[in-house]
Amino acid sequence: MAESPQDRAAWLREELQRHERLYYGEAKPEISDRDFDRLMAELAAIEEKHPELRTADSPTRRVGGEPTEGFEQVEHEPPMLSLDNTYDHDELEEWVERLTRLLPDTGFEFICELKVDGVSLSLLYEDGVLTQAATRGNGRVGDLVTENARTIRTLPLRLPAAAPARLLVRAETYMRRSTFVALNEERAAAGQELYANPRNTTAGTVRLLDSRDVARRRLDLACYEWVQPAGDDAEERPSHGESLAALAGLGLPVNDSWRRCKGLDEVVAYCDDWQEKRGELDFEIDGVVVKVDDPELRDRLGATAKAPRWAVAFKFEAEQAETVVRAINAQVGRTGAVTPVAELEPVLVAGTTVKRATLHNYEDLARKDVRVGDAVVIEKGGDIIPKVVSVFEDRRGPESKPFAPPTECPVCGEKLYQPEEEALLRCVNAACPAVVREAIRHFASRNAMDIEGMGDWLVGELVGGGLVRDPADLYGLTVEQLADLKKTNDARLGEKAAARTVASLPESKQRSLSRLIYALGIRFVGDSTASLLARRFRTVDGLAAASAEELEEVDEIGARIAESVRAFFDSERNQVLLRRLKEAGLEFEEEDAAADENVDQPLEGQVFVLTGTLEGMTRNEAGARIKALGGKVTGSVSSRTTYLVAGEKAGSKLRKAEQLGVEVLTEAGLENLLSSNR
């Protein structure tokens, strides 16, 4: 008797799930990749012919489905709190002492885990099947990314029969270093802009609307918390260490480097050990998470509005590496600033291969006396921007010579000049291709007009090919023009990618006035200053007509910014650009320009400082919302600061706020404050 499609599909699902466990969980594959793919293809064919047989835990979900329109929002219960940070042994000791003051005569045992540098997810299993995955978002509300999470091969879609009926797990999704390197090699071969680091790439991948693209990037996962349902009997609840072992027993991926530590000395030893060994891992870690093991003690310690008292993150120092300076080149920015960049012998630092490092300016270069051929120490400032820290002067040969700054622009050949009271050299040629290229890249960037696909390669091709001479030219581009552009391997950009870029152009026309002002690239006008100018003058014409005295009346705008704004609008070249942008249909007025100027400003007089990484919104978006309610956003903490908003990886500003007694808000706390003052 022939096997029915239903029976065959059920057998294939079970067999594929078994092979996934063997391959990803136990590293003991029984069949070749080709045979595995054949089984997967057979199951996909059955489900295509009989859609009613497709189940939520089908392995075919791993390859992704049709693109979504956007992400739904899901509320976290309980909230996904952030962690307080410590940066040295003394701060770690202070944390343990605080616990002891809260619960005297208590012998604490801790679980230490590697702090994987990725993106937090909340995973829900019901009746053993993965039914929901959501990003952390602001801690209270996150994006529903279930289809994307299903593509993670190490994440089981169905748990064994021993699993509880409802299981809520917190995890970190990340990209392995080897996967990241391979992905960037593919992009380099295709002439595409390289990704900056695994963590940022993971964050972008999780939020892709097409889960098929997510599947191709091969994310990984590490579970770190079994969230106990409310109302559980505390006496029956397992310790945290027992919970991690239980999760692993259910087939969920748990990093096996965790350790139970008795007392501070063992915790410090674990942290120091992994700070030295982190380079041996195939994934990035930026510290260690230390947690109280006993669930009853956790309950008694409780949490602040920001973080649990029973857990803390020990953050590692910035990772350094030694390499050699092969060349020192000049880089021309959008304002004509010419800065020195060290070209390095490639070296791995904090999970990425570094080939270039900033030298800031020629005065800094001279102070450090960096020379071609020098052996140097580099590190990533904030684990993002590589910089030269020090030079091994004793290793220099007799032929070594100090580096002489350039006198001409390396791109257009114009003579460089150095303004008074500045350390930077500048190219004053407004038509310099490098200046034009950087100005257009800035105009199209995410915090400005946010035009999809306008990375370094595409902008370079458009400017170099004469298709774009200023930002207004972007709005005349066609799919045909972009699709025909050739990459380094002679492959075309393609109609699909070209269509996405062209489709984003009309969307960019609707960006707010403040983003347009920022996009214009006026010297000294960042996004915060652009918001102040938009709020005060309401239209581009109003701003263009403002005198230097009127500009200086705006809070936080001094003579230097006022002079720069006036110089921009007095330029005939810029007047032509603005006229063309207006004709193209860009938003030249604030949406509420006609609204009553006496609108309620409930946060007026309150000063905010934003630090760290926010999940549910960018810091620019948070600042804009604060300012819309009358609040003021500044860059440094002082006794005048009303609130410090601390996201992930908050650093020195958080410590200073605590020293000054400034109230600290989590992202969820800021959201509550903004919502209650609408």
Catalogue the active-site residues.
115
- Identity of the amino acid at 465: G
C-alpha 430: how far from its chain's center? 33
* Tokens standing for residue 207: 């939020």
Nearest CA to 316 among 270, 256, 378?
270
In this structure, are strands 85-86 and 320-332 parallel, antiparallel, or unpaired? unpaired
* Tokens standing for residue 600: 């309620």
Q: Kindly provide the residue ranges of all beta strands, DSSP E only, lying in 50-186, ordered along the sequence.
A: 73-75, 85-86, 109-116, 119-126, 129-135, 141-143, 166-174
Q: With both helix axes pointing from N to C terminus, report the angle between 572-584 and 559-570 in degrees, rounded to the nearest 10.
A: 70
Burial 228-244 (b: 16+ CB within 10 A, else e): beeeeeeeebebbbebb
User: Is the separation of the CB atoms in 571 and 579 below 8 Å?
Assistant: no
Rounded Cα–Cα distance for residues 554 and 543 (Å): 12
Q: Which residues, at least 6 apart from 604, have a Cβ–Cβ distance to it below 8 Å?
A: 630, 631
Rounded Cα–Cα distance for residues 407 and 173 (Å): 49
**DSSP character at residue 167:** E
Q: 């350094």: which residue's tokens?
A: 320
User: Is the separation of the CB atoms in 571 and 537 below 8 Å?
Assistant: no
User: Is the separation of the CB atoms in 424 and 418 below 8 Å?
Assistant: yes
**Residue positions counted in the chain:** 678
484 phi and psi angles, rounded to 5 deg: -85, -5
User: Is the separation of the CB atoms in 562 and 637 below 8 Å?
Assistant: no
Burial class of residue 246 in the structure, from the number of CB atoms within 10 Å of its CB (0-12 exposed, 13-18 middle, 19+ buried): middle
Helix, strand, coil content of the chain in percent (nearest 5): 40, 20, 40
User: Is the separation of the CB atoms in 82 and 648 below 8 Å?
Assistant: yes
